[in-house]
Structure 1
Amino acid sequence: MMVRVISVLFAVLTAISNGTASVLQRRAAATVPDSDVLHVSLIGKLLRQRVWLAGIGMVLVAAACQAVALATGPIAVVQPIFVIELPATLLLAGHLFQVRLGARIWTGVVAVTLGLALGMASAAPGGGTERAHGLTWLPVLVVTGLFEALVLGLALSTRGNPRAALLGLAAACGYALTAALMKDALAHLENGGGLAALFSSWQLYGTAVAGVGALFLLQNALQAGSLAASQPMLTLGDALISIVYGVVLFGEHLRTGWWLVPELAGAAVIAAGVAELARSPLAQGTVTRG
């Protein structure tokens, strides 16, 4: 029981850190022209902005918290909790900077909270193993690569908010893959192999590659359009794809059958709440002080 509490606590801390990073990075990425989309030059320009570097600092904090959360709990429990990242961050920002929180933010906070509670209670995720099963990684990586190629191809064929949404989905898949690889890598450390086993596992280096790729895709999503377009796809995509990885790779289980109805209802409520929050002046950087 205590282990599960630790996992949930660090998942919440991860969500707060990630949400803060998204808002900071959106402010920086909005100043970069469209011609830099999916080019390394985008990162070069962002590196010269302090607000973006502050966002990267929060990404590193989030990565440390996520490692603890995944080491102590199932991925199907940890990752869906990350949907609270935007409401938690906006509430914290409003308090720290003495910004008046309007009805839109409170509506979004309530919607995300209730949607998460409904979805988690209905799905009741749990079980599974610490390590991925056998050679399951091979087909998972192939399917993931094909999915990313399809989404990126669609993103390049459009512009504005549709591109931001698709790139947000691609980033979500990257972050979900990063979490799955991280969990599998940490299992080498926990199973008595020590640091030698951890650093000799390909999953550790896969975590680094997938994490950097996901971060790059996120910067492009934030640059391509509004937070309202990219954030719902990023938040829900990460949670849902992570659940799939948890079931396929680690044998975790969810309720099915008629339980799918309230689970989907919870996901819909979360999506509506995140979209409402992302459209708020506080998330977009245009705020009114109280």
Structure 2
Amino acid sequence: MARADIAALLALAAAFFIAVGDVIHQRSAHEVTDQPVGHLTLFLTLLRDRRWWLGSGVAGAGFALQAAALGLGSVLLVQAVLVTALLFALPISARQSQRRVTRWQWVWAVLLAGSVIVIVTVGNPTAGDSRASLETWIGVLAVLGPALALCLLGARLWSGPASAVLLAVVSGALWGLFAVLTKSVVDRLDVTSWAGLEQLLVTPELYAWAVVAVTGTAMQQASFRAGALTASLPTMTVTEPIVACVLGVVVLGETLRPGDAGWFTLVVAVAVMVAATAALARGEAATREPV
């Protein structure tokens, strides 16, 4: 079996575990307290919640599988497959809430699955470099940093859905960055010798990776609390793969090889994937809106 095929299977397994973790996290964020709290207070409160830690453990298994997939395949491939997490979250959340999945949700689910298959097969993504230069990361920080800072400022100025959307953009962007950093960390990971561990410990991406993971988690929970899930979940779900794929191309030099006749098909598939993801996430969030 080819490395790309194994990476796709690992990413599919990762999508399942991440979906289960997200379902648990979303419920915990809304039920952990009835009082209005700030971002930091919410995060610290969740750290004392057993159910939130259960979700974190399940999601952690998903991230480990994602890391293994990134060690074998490109960010473009892995992130495209990870979008299918919504396909798993749909029936899991429906069963938890004791409701039925609607006909339109199944239609969007089929379209999402089909678009992912088209992107992976027609796009034929190829892996690039595992790491980027310091100059490249400084350029990324110069662009992404101010953009996320403006989103955080806007989230403080506005409340309700607007705040939820802006915080979701920050969280999704950070998780997209997390995926690219994960590939860099996995490339340096060698637990077979002390020299390998020492090499990992002096890798700057390792510490950036840890900071981004914690910050992304905090922003995710803050987004869930800021407003309706109909505002946060679709934004977060679409932002993450877009940022990850853009960084995969710009930072790691990954490419798509659809051929001259395949670009139109690829563009249509990407548009369908984004539309289906947003529709599924919005429908899923609406069914779990607090009463």
1:110 corresponds to which letter in structure 2? V
The equivalent residue for 1:65 is 65
Q: Aligned partners of 1:100, 1:125: CA distance in 2, in Å? A: 36
The equivalent residue for 2:167 is 167
Cα deviation, residue 97, structure 1: 8.6
Please tell me whether the aligned partners of residues 17 and 59 of structure 1 are also in contact (alpha carbons under 8 angstroms). Answer: yes
Larger relative contact order (C-alpha < 8 A, sep ≥ 6)? Answer: 1
1:102 corresponds to which letter in structure 2? T
What residue ranges of structure 2 are gaps of 5+ in the alignment?
Answer: none
Cα deviation, residue 255, structure 1: 5.1
Please tell me whether the aligned partners of residues 136 and 249 of structure 1 are also in contact (alpha carbons under 8 angstroms). Answer: yes
Query: Structure 1 residues 147 and 281, CA, compared in 2 at 3 Å: closer, same or farther?
Result: closer
Please tell me whether the aligned partners of residues 83 and 239 of structure 1 are also in contact (alpha carbons under 8 angstroms). Answer: yes
Cα deviation, residue 122, structure 1: 4.8
Residues 13-35 of structure 1: per-residue CA shift (max 9 Å, x gap): 22112222222111121234684
Q: Aligned partners of 2:147, 2:97: CA distance in 1, in Å? A: 40
Query: Structure 1 residues 221 and 122, CA, compared in 2 at 3 Å: closer, same or farther?
Result: farther
1:203 corresponds to which letter in structure 2? E
Q: How does 1:75-154 map to 2 (within 5 A)?
A: 75-92=75-92, 100-133=100-133, 135-154=135-154
Secondary structure of the 1:30 match is: helix
The equivalent residue for 1:182 is 182
1:157 corresponds to which letter in structure 2? L
Cα deviation, residue 204, structure 1: 0.9
- Once the two structures are overlaid, the 10-residue window that deviates more, 271-280 or 72-81, is 271-280
State the TM-score, normalizing by the size of structure 1.
0.86
2:269 matches 1:266: yes
Say what the alpha-carbon RMSD is for the aligned residues: 2.9
1:57 corresponds to which letter in structure 2? G
Specify which of 211, 214, 237 is matched with residue 212 of structure 1.
214
Q: Aligned partners of 2:71, 2:276: CA distance in 1, in Å? A: 29
Q: Aligned partners of 1:224, 1:33: CA distance in 2, in Å? A: 13
Query: Structure 1 residues 243 and 281, CA, compared in 2 at 3 Å: closer, same or farther?
Result: closer
Q: Aligned partners of 2:125, 2:28: CA distance in 1, in Å? A: 37
1:49 corresponds to which letter in structure 2? D
What is the total number of aligned residue pairs between the two structures? Answer: 285
- Once the two structures are overlaid, the 10-residue window that deviates more, 44-53 or 6-15, is 44-53
State the TM-score, normalizing by the size of structure 2.
0.85
Please tell me whether the aligned partners of residues 125 and 257 of structure 2 are also in contact (alpha carbons under 8 angstroms). Answer: yes
